[in-house]
Structure 1
């Protein structure tokens, strides 16, 4: 996919909304130094271009009872297109899996999985992961603590 070029004002809009997606349009306009109408026009264009993919709230996982985060390396028996598709379809339906990446290297996938405790994670591993056809190896690592998580990738400054 080709990167979309943006100017300094667009970059500032993206930075501000990535930090606070609930910011009022008036505050956004004030912070970038434009009036309301051109600000809204720019935001709508950034949405249409797909640079703003959506708006969401950051949920406090611990307050919901998530006690542990595991990073799980999954290796498949074969890397055929069908095996990959089956795994991806099945894992996408599992609410405990927060993210899934197809990898290069020794493992085929890395998952970020949340659970209330180790017993819950063990149930997930035995009841879900081991039952997906083609899974041959599972390697789990317990995250000790989150250090930081960014809301957006680096935004180029035009």
Structure 2
């Protein structure tokens, strides 16, 4: 399968769900969960990697166990919107490890950031030492996260409402 075309049928989508649920599974475990034999499952994974459908594998960490007990959602506006300033701002954001997410938005804020720090004193330091010094920043509105109701790293896979393993298919002479 080429980079332009990768078959995302029910088996490939089920493989994606399984990988997002637990990417440390063996190909054999994934194949059994989705009802394929090992070789076609492995080929589909490799094809999705080559096509850029699968962009990488990560280990998820508990931020509180890492001492990052405070999450802050920041709405931020720039004073100007020229290309050079926006690029400098975005480069500075990318270089800040405390900013774990940054999206450019329409509406009230130019950008919405998610920031993880140890505590409120750490966030105050971060504000003065980093956020207020980012290129072009005019206004910063901070909202302290009281409780994360949902923090999902998995993407919704089309055609499924939740990661669900398919029943093994009947053996036939044709290969998937």
Q: Same fold (TM over 0.5)?
A: yes
Q: Is the 8 A contact 2:75 2:112 kept in 1?
A: yes
| Partner SS for 2:140 | strand
Q: Find 2:22's aligned residue among 14, 20, 23.
A: 20
How far did 1:3 drift? 9.7
1-side partners of 2:7 and 2:152: how far apart?
Answer: 22
Per-residue CA distance 1:42-63 (angstroms, 9 max, x = gap): 0000111111111101101000
**Aligned position for 1:143:** 145
Q: Find 1:65's aligned residue among 61, 64, 67.
A: 67
Structure 1 moving runs of 4+ over 4 Å: 2-5
| Partner SS for 1:133 | coil
Any unmatched runs of 5+ in structure 1?
Answer: none
2-side partners of 1:133 and 1:98: how far apart?
Answer: 18
Q: What RMSD in Å do the two structures reach over aligned CA positions?
A: 1.7
Q: Find 1:92's aligned residue among 79, 91, 94.
A: 94
How far did 1:157 drift? 2.2
Q: Is the 8 A contact 2:5 2:51 kept in 1?
A: no
| Partner SS for 1:145 | coil
**Aligned position for 1:36:** 38
| Partner SS for 1:56 | coil
Q: Quickly say closer, same or farther: Cα 1:3–1:113, change in 2 above 3 A.
A: farther
Q: Scaled by the length of structure 1, what TM-score is found?
A: 0.94
**Aligned position for 1:154:** 156
Identify the range of structure 1 (133-142 vs 3-12) with the bigger mean alpha-carbon deviation: 3-12
Q: Is the 8 A contact 1:70 1:142 kept in 2?
A: yes
User: How many residues end up aligned between the 2 structures?
Assistant: 157
